[in-house]
Amino acid sequence: MASPQIGKSVPRKEGREKVTGAARYVDDLTFPGMLHGATVRTSAPRGKILGIRFGDEIPWDEFTIVTARDIPGKNCVALRIEDQPCLADQQVNHPEEAVVLLAHPDKYLLEKARQSVQIEIDPLPPVFTIDDSLAKKQVIWGEDNIFKSYQVEKGDVDSAWRSAGFIVEGEYETGAQEQLYIETQGMIARANPADGVTVWGSLQCPYYVHKALVRLFGLPKERVRVVQTETGGGFGGKEEYPSMIAAHAALLAWKSGKTVKIVYDRAEDMTATTKRHPSRTRHRTALTREGKLLAMEIDFTLDGGAYETLSPVVLSRGTIHAAGPYACPNVRIRSRAVATNAPPHGAFRGFGAPQSVFALERHLDRVAAAVGLSPEELRRLNFIHEGQTLSVGQVVHEKVDMGKLLDRALELSGYHEKRKRFQLENARGAIKKGIGFASFLHGAGFTGSGEEYLASEALVNITREGKVCVLAGSTEMGQGTNTIFAQIAAEALSLECEQIEILQPDTSLVPNSGPTVASRTVMIVGKLVETAALAIKKSLLQSGFLQEGYSSQQFENACRQYLDKFGPLESLVKYQHPSDLHWDDTKYQGDAYGAYAWAVYVAEISIDTRTAEIRVEDFVAVQEVGKVINPVLAAGQIEGGIAQGIGFALYENVVWQEGRMMNGQMTNYIMPTSMDIPPIRVFFEELPYARGPAGAKGIGELPLDGTAPAIANAIAHATGADIRQIPVTPEILFEMLERVHV
Amino acid sequence: MSEASRKIRVRCVINGQAVTLETYPLARLLDVLREQAGLTGTKEGCGEGECGACSIEMDGVLVNSCLVPALQADGTTIRTIEGVADRGHLDAVQQAFLTHGGAQCGICTPGMILAALNLLGRTPQPTTAEIREGLAGNLCRCTGYTKIFESVVEACRFARPSS
Amino acid sequence: MRSYIPGYEMEVPRNLAETLERMAREPGTWKPFAGGTDLMVLLEAGKLPQRKYLSIWKLPELGGVSVTHTHVTLGSLTTYSEIRQHEVLASEFPLLCRAAAETGSVATQNRGTLGGNIANASPAADSPPALLVYDAELELVSSRGTRWTPYHGFWKGYKQIGLREDELIRAIRLPREKSAWTHFYRKVGTRRAQAISKVCFAGAARMESGQIADVRIALGSVAPTVLRAIDTENVLRGEKPASAIVHAARETLAREIAPIDDIRSTARYRLRVAQNLVAEFCEQLTA
């Protein structure tokens, strides 16, 4: 009998390849006769395309040139809708929009050629701010610049104000954030009428790319194949964008008859691909004299950039998370995603929740002060409990105890002692210290009916050698998919992980398990893998070739015997939506998520008031996540997410000029180095979730929600500065500190 | 239009093997390693010497190969990630990265391991502060560095093979 | 890679004499290329108009650090790593060692050279303020001969230095006269490592009975060039750093520097921080 696999820090399945440099990412691959591809982009934010001028002194006859006219099917990057063109045709709507594609065997000459192409634009007036977009200064998308809006109503907000003991308002903003995966976007394509289209590349969602290529080329599904190569980080930045670069590589391949590779350099990747949606949230909160929440009115707006892409879904998650883990009888949330002439914003770990949770947790610290309570007292008074309802009306069925999580986090961080001590010590000296926290939740899986709509599948089969193969469309990008799936299957089959093989996601081989996003891979797809593995075990036991308590050798023998006698053995499991989860899309009410992770994060910071530089000195993260399948991988996810959250809070500032990112270099877009990250202490509580594999829930996005507001609250504690926006750069804090003094 | 300079021959020892590579004088050593020498373990993350994914050892010293012109690699001894394991036996740093979660997506890992080895070569038992500083030129977006530090500390507990 | 690599040439001269001879024969056509940590970044960005280079990276005449009773002379190819590891520099010229330690990362420090840094003439460079405080002199060589010039005054304008087209920086000489001074260096960057400075302050003072007998102050990133804050020095010289004097120094400094808004920071922030740093410097002098 194998040792238990759940709760074990099994080393990463593809780890050896990664530490020896043998892992093959897309730019490591070459094909015979391969061409390099490049993209010619406009620098204008909006305008009509008058013409394309090709520079002199380039041997253009050696080049493959593709424009919108070369697109066999529909000129769009199909996602939820088809408003985004693959190549701009008559008009451009954001800086860096792709207009012309070029391919050539010599990558140096290719770049020279790319720089020589001029796109002539007759400018149209652009829109760059949320306010201008809402005011419809120009209508740049649809009828009214609004991609999507939601309204959540719980109870009766309007009549709550009259009986309020306190009413507190506030406005909060978050900036764009670049995913900054260390491996830039890249795709290789082979495409011709005889073979169809095949792409290999860095991506999170093979079937998203598949759908987009089918539409672009007008080909039947079987003629399009998408293969994921080893992916060097995604974080959502490779959720939808890869469809665009895959389309470009495939169009060049189609026209040239050769295999084409497009890999972005860092500047192109930063300036042309998606970022986290900038946000603005307005809170108006009514409380009783004792500090119990009476009503929350929340207005939440996202800047979506020039095309719809995933903005409605980001908006959805941000909306649902806007009121947090609190019991409030009356809630109204109005939200909208609006168009501006910037490259479309997109998925980034957290997906709307980091934006609305920042606002909420910062706001509640201010509310506490207004009411005369400590931040902790206010939360305790209002934490939601089992049996109560969240803002969208979902009854909490989990035995969550936020109060206990808070206790633990505050104790582990020495919060109370530090809160007092810093107040005294801050009176003298240039260094001011602060400690603050955020309490929050994050729903795992697609919202509402989303999982039902995705109808994900996973397949498990066996080989004559006794290997168990897991076939799923879920991708490994560092978060541990391969290892966790192997552990789940191994546990179900009482084997060791070495006997489990996870197939490279290839749409010609693996079923559609839905996208690798939304903290769903372990909880939703892992459950399918577990079910399929159990079904395999059952079949083998029922066949008589295997008896309970088998060894791995006996399992091997049974596989061979079974296959020889009966032929292939596989189990394909399709997602079944729990019948007790109901969601109303029109009212935006009901069971938003199957399960939530619950957390309290505490940040200790210090500020040098001479320079307003902020350092995170210590960070404690306590979360309840269901069963932890692999402790090292799980902690790694939290630590990495917190580092990204620290960047979101303090360092990562996109400098915009007329819709274009001006600091598109790693020198000027600042992510934390090893010297900028504090000791991060991670603690898990585990209340097994019955519907998760081995009781697991999702955790990937959770850390992005609470990190920034904990830091912002700590800064406010240290200095009295009323932080309302992130990133809190030293320049911004410096101005605030001068005002606090005056 | 005046045409390009002629290609040059770059003779160097890479991972113990003498090689002669033909390339342009200002081609990046990173590209020469990846394309001419077929050693794709060294990665490009930024092209501007900020991320350290392209870190290698050149004449025993850690450098960002994206900033070294091929001509200046002539006559040098180079170690890349492919030269770290000894005939399939992982170095202690590599082993520690495996057991302690030092690699997630893996793209920063080759450079990070070279930087760690270089650090341990200079400072066999570094303090946490020295580890942080020694690795400050290698950016990781996945791990938040915590498990990378733990991996390096773990590696220090074992004798290391000579570089 | 945004440059056309085949269009660039680089050759290896056998020695310094050959280098200078070629630079003299075709002034401006051939330029020296040291460790490349600045030039290769420009190459990647497509911003390197100069096409022909002479690789001086291994020229022995340009390397090495020599120490006499009165001076330390660094060859222009001295790397930041070599600076950090040098005993005399570490003990007598701590500002330069701090600057070297805060430049880029270990990998950059192994290839970046002091001469390259000076020739690149960025106002945000980390070492020049230290060199100015230490009254550095530069040895410039050409096929016509050698000349020494003080580093102070070498800057002519934004990214312009007094280096003629046929000249090369051979060495940087530092008088060994400030080892007993109090030294203060602070670089305020975008993060704790691998940061381009927003404000860089280097200062040293000779204290006698609590009075500032002599002082040097230099700053980076607050003007088109790295500058010596001469007026501010004059306010402090001969005084005890009490609060009125510190206030005067702050006010004088504000008039001496000319910070701007740019992609990394704001003029206002740079101004205020520079003022705070001169105050912090003065605090160190009383400690």
Question: Taking CA atoms, what residue in C is nearest to B27?
Answer: C5
Q: Which among A667, A673, A734 is the nearest to C192, CB-wise? A: A673
Note whether A548 contacts C: Cβ–Cβ < 8 A: no
Within-domain flag for B17: yes
Query: Is the CB of residue A649 less than 8 Å from the CB of residue A727?
Result: yes
Q: Does domain A31-124+180-272 have CATH number 3.30.365.10?
A: yes
| Whole-angstrom distance, CA of residue B63 vs CA of residue B118 | 10
Tell me the per-residue pLDDT of A118-134, one tens digit each, with 9 for 90 and over.
999 999 999 999 999 99
- Are B107 and B53 found together in one domain? no
Query: Is the CB of residue C91 less than 8 Å from the CB of residue C177?
Result: no
Tell me the per-residue pLDDT of B123-142, one tens digit each, with 9 for 90 and over.
999 999 999 999 999 999 99
Residue B161: pLDDT above 70?
Answer: no
Residue B1: pLDDT above 90?
Answer: no
Subunits with 3+ C-beta pairs closer than 8 A to A: B, C
Structure tokens that stand for A422 in this block: 């810093």
pLDDT computed for residue B115 by the predictor = 98
Within-domain flag for B1: no
- Closest Cα partner for A184 from A39, A34, A83, A340? A39
| Whole-angstrom distance, CA of residue A178 vs CA of residue A189 | 26
Question: How large is the angle between the packed helices A415-425 and A402-413, nearest 10 degrees?
Answer: 50
How many CB atoms are closer than 10 A to CB A116? 16
Phi/psi at C5 (5° precision)? -55, -40
| Whole-angstrom distance, CA of residue A147 vs CA of residue A339 | 7
Note whether C51 contacts A: Cβ–Cβ < 8 A: no
pLDDT computed for residue A1 by the predictor = 58
| Whole-angstrom distance, CA of residue A322 vs CA of residue A179 | 22
CB contact under 8 A, B28 and C8: no
How many CB atoms are closer than 10 A to CB C260? 13
Residues in Cβ contact with A264 at an 8 Å cutoff, skipping those fewer than 6 apart:
A184, A185, A186, A245, A272, A273
Q: E strand or H helix at A380, and its extent? A: helix A375-382
E-assigned strands of C158-236? 160-161, 168-175, 182-189, 197-208, 211-220, 227-228
- Are B120 and B149 found together in one domain? yes
- Are B67 and B104 found together in one domain? no
- Are B63 and B97 found together in one domain? no
| Whole-angstrom distance, CA of residue A422 vs CA of residue A83 | 53
Residues in Cβ contact with A553 at an 8 Å cutoff, skipping those fewer than 6 apart:
none
- Are B34 and B51 found together in one domain? yes
Q: Which among B45, B105, B136 is the nearest to A674, CB-wise? A: B136
Residue B163: pLDDT above 60?
Answer: no
Chain C: closest CA distance from residue B24 (Å): 6
Within-domain flag for B97: yes
| Whole-angstrom distance, CA of residue C92 vs CA of residue A543 | 83
Domain with B133 in it: what CATH number? Answer: 1.10.150.120
Contact list, A612 vs chain C (CB under 8 Å): 269, 273
Within-domain flag for B124: yes
A292: amino acid identity, one letter: K
Q: Topology of domain A279-447+588-741, per CATH? A: Aldehyde Oxidoreductase; domain 4 (3.30.365)
CB contact under 8 A, C33 and B69: yes
Q: Which among A108, A655, A675 is the nearest to C5, CB-wise? A: A108
Q: Where are the domains of chain A?
A: 15-23+450-574, 31-124+180-272, 279-447+588-741
pLDDT computed for residue C57 by the predictor = 98
- Are B100 and B141 found together in one domain? yes
- Are B76 and B98 found together in one domain? no
Instruction: Tell me if A31-124+180-272 shares its fold with A279-447+588-741.
Output: yes
Q: What is the DSSP letter of A27?
A: G
Q: Which among A57, A266, A478 is the nearest to B105, CB-wise? A: A478
Question: How large is the angle between the packed helices B92-99 and B146-156, nearest 10 degrees?
Answer: 130
| Whole-angstrom distance, CA of residue A287 vs CA of residue A289 | 6
pLDDT computed for residue A734 by the predictor = 97
**Whole-number Cα distances in Å, A456 to A214, A529, B157, C102:** 19, 11, 46, 51
Q: Which domain holds residue B101?
A: 92-156
Chain B: closest CA distance from residue C220 (Å): 21
| Whole-angstrom distance, CA of residue C200 vs CA of residue C220 | 5
- Are B13 and B78 found together in one domain? yes
Q: What is the DSSP letter of A543?
A: H
Please state the domain count of chain B. 2
Note whether A186 contacts B: Cβ–Cβ < 8 A: no
CB contact under 8 A, B25 and C9: yes
Show the domains of chain C with their CATH numbers: 5-55 (3.30.43), 60-175 (3.30.465.10), 183-286 (3.30.390.50)
Question: How large is the angle between the packed helices A631-646 and A702-719, nearest 10 degrees?
Answer: 50
Tell me the per-residue pLDDT of B56-109, one tens digit each, with 9 for 90 and over.
999 999 999 999 999 999 999 999 999 999 999 999 999 999 999 999 999 999
Note whether C287 contacts A: Cβ–Cβ < 8 A: no
CB contact under 8 A, B64 and C44: no
| Whole-angstrom distance, CA of residue C228 vs CA of residue C135 | 10
Q: How many residues does chain B have?
A: 163
| Whole-angstrom distance, CA of residue C250 vs CA of residue C256 | 10
Q: E strand or H helix at A458, and its extent? A: strand A457-462
Q: How many residues does chain C have?
A: 287
Per-residue exposure over A384-403, b if at least 16 CB sit within 10 Å of its own CB, e if not = beeeebbbbbbebebebbbe
Q: How is C225-285 classified by DSSP, letter by letter?
A: S-EE-HHHHHHHTTS---HHHHHHHHHHHHHH------SS--HHHHHHHHHHHHHHHHHHH
pLDDT computed for residue A739 by the predictor = 86
Give all strands of the β-sheet with A725-726 in edge-to-edge order: A146-154, A330-338, A293-303, A279-287, A166-174, A725-726
How many CB atoms are closer than 10 A to CB B54? 29
- Are B12 and B73 found together in one domain? yes
Contact list, A19 vs chain B (CB under 8 Å): 90, 94, 97-98, 102-103, 106, 109, 113
Q: Each residue's pLDDT tens digit in chain C (287 positions)?
A: 999 999 999 999 999 999 999 999 998 999 999 999 999 999 999 999 999 999 999 999 999 999 999 999 999 999 999 999 999 999 999 999 999 999 999 999 999 999 999 999 999 999 999 999 999 999 999 999 999 999 999 999 999 999 999 999 999 999 999 999 999 999 999 999 999 999 999 999 999 999 999 999 999 999 999 999 999 999 999 999 999 999 999 999 999 999 999 999 999 999 999 999 999 999 999 98
How many CB atoms are closer than 10 A to CB A303? 22
Q: Does domain A15-23+450-574 have CATH number 3.40.630.30?
A: no
CB contact under 8 A, A735 and C268: yes
Residue at which a domain ends, from B83, B105, B138:
B83
- pTM, to two decimals: 0.98
pLDDT computed for residue B4 by the predictor = 54
pLDDT computed for residue B6 by the predictor = 81
Query: Is the CB of residue C126 less than 8 Å from the CB of residue C187?
Result: yes
- Closest Cα partner for C170 from C3, C23, C2? C23
CB contact under 8 A, A108 and C6: yes
Question: Taking CA atoms, what residue in A is nearest to C280?
Answer: A610
Query: Which of the residues C276, C277, C281, C284 would you substitute to probe the A interface, choosing the one with the greatest number of A C-beta atoms within 10 Å?
Result: C276
Q: What is the DSSP letter of A650?
A: I
E-assigned strands of A223-329? 224-228, 260-263, 279-287, 293-303
| Whole-angstrom distance, CA of residue A254 vs CA of residue A70 | 9
- Are B97 and B77 found together in one domain? no
Phi/psi at A486 (5° precision)? -65, -45
Within-domain flag for B3: no
Residue B2: pLDDT above 70?
Answer: no
Note whether A219 contacts B: Cβ–Cβ < 8 A: no
Residue at which a domain ends, from B47, B63, B83:
B83
- Are B75 and B100 found together in one domain? no
A69: amino acid identity, one letter: R
Chain C: closest CA distance from residue A108 (Å): 5
Note whether C268 contacts A: Cβ–Cβ < 8 A: yes
Residue B159: pLDDT above 60?
Answer: no
- Are B32 and B68 found together in one domain? yes
| Whole-angstrom distance, CA of residue A84 vs CA of residue A27 | 27
| Whole-angstrom distance, CA of residue C10 vs CA of residue C30 | 9
- Closest Cα partner for A536 from A584, A448, A468? A468
Instruction: Compute chain A's Rg from CA coordinates.
Output: 26
Residues of chain A with pLDDT under 70: 1, 742
Residue B158: pLDDT above 90?
Answer: no
CB contact under 8 A, B131 and A674: yes
Structure tokens that stand for B128 in this block: 């946490």
Structure tokens that stand for C138 in this block: 């530069």
- Interface predicted TM-score (ipTM) of this complex, two decimals: 0.97
Domain with B42 in it: what CATH number? Answer: 3.10.20.30
- B residues 16-55 closer than 8 Å to A (CB): 34, 39-48, 50-51, 53
- Residue position matching structure tokens 């002091």: C114
CB contact under 8 A, A181 and B141: yes
Cis peptide upstream of residue A329 (ω within 30 degrees of 0): no
SS3 content of chain A, % helix, strand, coil (to 5): 35, 25, 45
Residues in Cβ contact with C9 at an 8 Å cutoff, skipping those fewer than 6 apart:
B5, B25, B26, C51, C52, C53
Note whether A672 contacts C: Cβ–Cβ < 8 A: yes
